[in-house]
Amino acid sequence: MSVRRLDPHAERARRNRLHPRHLEFARPAWRWTSADGVTRINPHALGAIGPNGIKRIDRSGASVEAAAAGGPQASAEPSRRQVTIDTPTAYVAVVPELPEGRLSDHDRDLLGLARQLAEARGGAEAGVAVVAVAFQAEVAGLEEAGADRRIDLSSRVDADSYAPEARLAALAAVETALAPAHWIFADDFPGGGDLGRRLAARLALAGDAAARAATRVWQLSEGQTLSRAGDRQDIQRDVARVLLALPECAEPVSDTRHAATLLDLDASAGDASAAPGVIDRGRVAVDPQQIPLAQAPFILSAGRGVSDWDGYHHAAKVLGASEGASRVAVDDGYMPRARQVGATGTFVSASCYVAVGISGAVQHLQGITKCQRVVAINSDPSCDMVKRADFAIIGDGDAVLAAVCAQLGQPQPESGDSRHEEVRHDAA
Amino acid sequence: MTQPERSASAAGEARVVALVSSGRHPVSGRAGRAREDARAVEMGLALAGASLHLAHAGDAEDAALPEYLGMFHGLEGAGGPGELSLLPMAAGDDAVPLLANWLEAYGANLVLTGQRAECGEGSGLLPYLLAERLGWAVATGVAAIEHYAGDRVTVLQALPQGQRRRLEVRLPCLLCVDGVAPMPRQSAFGPSRRGRVEAVANVTAEPDTLQAAWQWQPARARPKRLKVVKSTNARDRFKAAAAKSAASGGQVLTDLTPDEAAQKLIDYLRAEKVLPAVQPGEDGQPSA
């Protein structure tokens, strides 16, 4: 039997950092395993003496990150588990919206909800597959979003035009071929909300009483769905066959990767033979200034840095953008109050927001948090708007806007010219 | 407001019906007109004038019915009092067979209604179930009726971000009116008293059996989604929690002449499909 023997002098010198022989006895490692098998940590041995002579303890792992070059990418994105289903026995169908041909956040939520429903039915072990039904050919990211199979209906339906009856016929063909346990749509008009209700009505009239859709589903808990009814009530009910779900109805898939194999359907089945009741006659040109500012897709916004207001209005017309303004421009009387963007004005949700001569006050940045792309034109490279922007140009806003109009072939008429025209107009 | 065009022959035989439901004020909860249904009635009045017929399946004592009838004022020509057909049924009954039978018997060829009810189930399924049962066309998100003649009606459909799409819908059809349609006129007291509510006889409603299994509860606020970072590394989790979402770190271009800057900006906007792509004929350069 071995007896642990301690040198009391050495222990004292080790404990007392002010002991003149402390360094002799200090343990070099800050963490060691004691004789009892217990991990011991010496907090005094942690860290390093910084350049100013003060000891610093870096628990952030920065030195580790600096040491391993390829490390951060691997750690930021944990590896996903591959899930493959060879022969599916049942299906959960999802019809993603695919705005601009890409999976949106809402679509990922729908696929996450479908995964939850598939897991409730036994998951991959039982052969329950999530199938994404797309009206477009090339959809990226379905593997990570959680689709085991995908169906491409682009050969039957024109993806660009609005043909709800043709789409419904294509979905009915999928229904006869696969008979999915659930259909999941995005509940927004006039996309999935329209199509899902059409399919639910078709299935309900065909005798499937359980096909009555659950609309505005926002949560799945304990095998039941919660859906918003009217304005002030929720309905808790068993999971319906057709679900029309709101955004954030479920967590998107994050830890598995799926196959998204293309499923071939019989091309001849279920053709839309009857004359369509709804015919798409194309988009209608909308005056951008008539669109409510909160909904406008493209906003050209002006602030204190703009001095040529005629040129700014002309540029908005040439670019086809709605006009917005910062608080300063409104207070100075150059723009109406209804055009003010920000916390005290309108919260905008443009897909592209161009800020000319706006330095980016906190209230203004709050108003544009929902904008997807922000372009800043500013003479100050250090302002907050340039930091926020996805694309920033350092320069004079008036000159850049004038050059944009010139390059698009519609330069602003000289002020003298316009006055001449006015005179002629009055004379006529 | 522009009036929809219609040919004289079609206007004579037009049997335009607006399906109305009881609403709740979004803040006070007071009973009254439903917002989208009121817009549907307004659209029907602009189209058919006083010949618009209202229909409601439910309770005769509903406070919303006089309010809809009070909208029959300020109409061109002989503006008679409003008429509303009431299909009596209890709250838990199925309205679809009643309305389908009544619409067929009445001979309606254009039916206007809101997208979604504010009371009850409020699923917005009713127009689709009716259309499927009757074999009619149905269009949703209608912002305006442009043209109404013959066997077709041309409407504008509201799209996200304030965009519009023109649709041609075969008659008879159901149109679901969106919240961006023209504002409804005020409801006046006199017309609401003069309007007639006729209960349709020989109507037997059947209870909605599916609805009996549901549990109704007051609406809860939806939980806000938390940003969960799945990482085994404490440093990554800390960085994700402390990161400013705004600082995305975009491209910054300095020291450009205005012409170069404009060219870069146009290229960026074209790449993001905000501006239309260059046509083959034009080169995008200034002509001078």
Question: What span, in angstroms and rounded, lies between the C-alpha atoms of B264 and B250?
Answer: 14
The C-alpha angle B205, B211, B216, rounded to 5 degrees, equals 125
Span B161-182, pLDDT tens digits? 889 999 999 989 999 999 999 9
Q: Note whether A222 contacts B: Cβ–Cβ < 8 A.
A: no
Span B96-136, pLDDT tens digits? 999 999 999 999 999 999 999 998 888 999 999 999 999 99
From B103's Cα to the closest Cα of chain A, the distance in A is 18
| Range A146-175 average pLDDT | 89
Which has the closest alpha carbon to B37: B59, B63, B56? B56
> Is B236 in contact with A231 (Cβ distance < 8 A)?
no
CB atoms under 10 Å from CB of A73, counted, come to: 8
> Is A275 in contact with B168 (Cβ distance < 8 A)?
no
Q: What is the pTM of this model?
A: 0.80
- The torsion angles phi and psi of B244, rounded to 5 degrees, stand at -85, 125
| Range A111-134 average pLDDT | 92
- Establish whether this prediction's ipTM goes over 0.90: no
Is residue A385 scored above 80 in pLDDT?
yes
> Is B252 in contact with A386 (Cβ distance < 8 A)?
yes
User: What residues in A contact B262, CB-CB < 8 Å?
Assistant: 400, 403-404, 406-407
| Range A237-264 average pLDDT | 91
Among the partner-chain residues A188, A216, A281, the one whose CB lies closest to the CB of B166 is A281
In chain A, positions 231-270, which contact chain B (CB-CB < 8 Å)? Answer: 231-238, 246, 248, 251, 254-255
Is residue A217 scored above 60 in pLDDT?
yes
Q: Note whether A67 contacts B: Cβ–Cβ < 8 A.
A: no
Among the partner-chain residues A234, A254, A396, the one whose CB lies closest to the CB of B220 is A234
Identify the residue among B134, B252, B279 best suited for mutation to test binding to A, counting A beta carbons within 10 A and taking the highest: B252
Question: What span, in angstroms and rounded, lies between the C-alpha atoms of A48 and A51?
Answer: 9
Locate the chain A residue with the closest alpha carbon to B287. A409
> Is A162 in contact with B259 (Cβ distance < 8 A)?
no
Identify the residue among A199, A393, A396, A398 best suited for mutation to test binding to B, counting B beta carbons within 10 A and taking the highest: A393
> Is B124 in contact with A409 (Cβ distance < 8 A)?
no
Span B83-99, pLDDT tens digits? 999 999 988 889 999 99
Question: What span, in angstroms and rounded, lies between the C-alpha atoms of B258 and B255?
Answer: 9
Among the partner-chain residues B125, B284, B287, the one whose CB lies closest to the CB of A213 is B125
User: What residues in A contact B168, CB-CB < 8 Å?
Assistant: 278-279, 281
pLDDT in tens, chain B (288 residues): 455 665 444 445 668 999 999 999 888 889 999 999 999 999 999 999 889 999 999 988 888 999 999 999 988 776 788 899 999 998 888 999 999 999 999 999 999 999 999 988 889 999 999 999 999 999 999 999 998 987 899 999 999 888 999 999 998 999 999 999 999 999 999 999 999 999 998 888 888 888 888 999 998 888 888 877 777 777 777 877 777 655 556 888 888 898 999 999 999 999 888 888 775 544 444 433
The two three-digit tokens of residue A76, written as one number: 């930021």
Question: What span, in angstroms and rounded, lies between the C-alpha atoms of B235 and A55?
Answer: 21
Q: Note whether A80 contacts B: Cβ–Cβ < 8 A.
A: no
- The torsion angles phi and psi of B147, rounded to 5 degrees, stand at -150, 135
> Is A394 in contact with B141 (Cβ distance < 8 A)?
no
In chain B, positions 146-165, which contact chain A (CB-CB < 8 Å)? Answer: 154, 156-165
pLDDT at B279: 57
Which has the closest alpha carbon to A197: B69, B263, B274, B96? B96
Span A316-347, pLDDT tens digits? 999 999 999 999 999 999 999 999 999 989 99
In chain B, positions 235-254, which contact chain A (CB-CB < 8 Å)? Answer: 235-236, 238, 246-248, 250-254
Q: Note whether A319 contacts B: Cβ–Cβ < 8 A.
A: yes
Question: What span, in angstroms and rounded, lies between the C-alpha atoms of A397 and A379?
Answer: 8
Identify the residue among A60, A234, A385 best suited for mutation to test binding to B, counting B beta carbons within 10 A and taking the highest: A234
Is residue A130 scored above 50 in pLDDT?
yes
The two three-digit tokens of residue B163, written as one number: 């965009």
Q: How far apart are the first and last CA of chain A?
A: 119
> Is B178 in contact with A389 (Cβ distance < 8 A)?
no
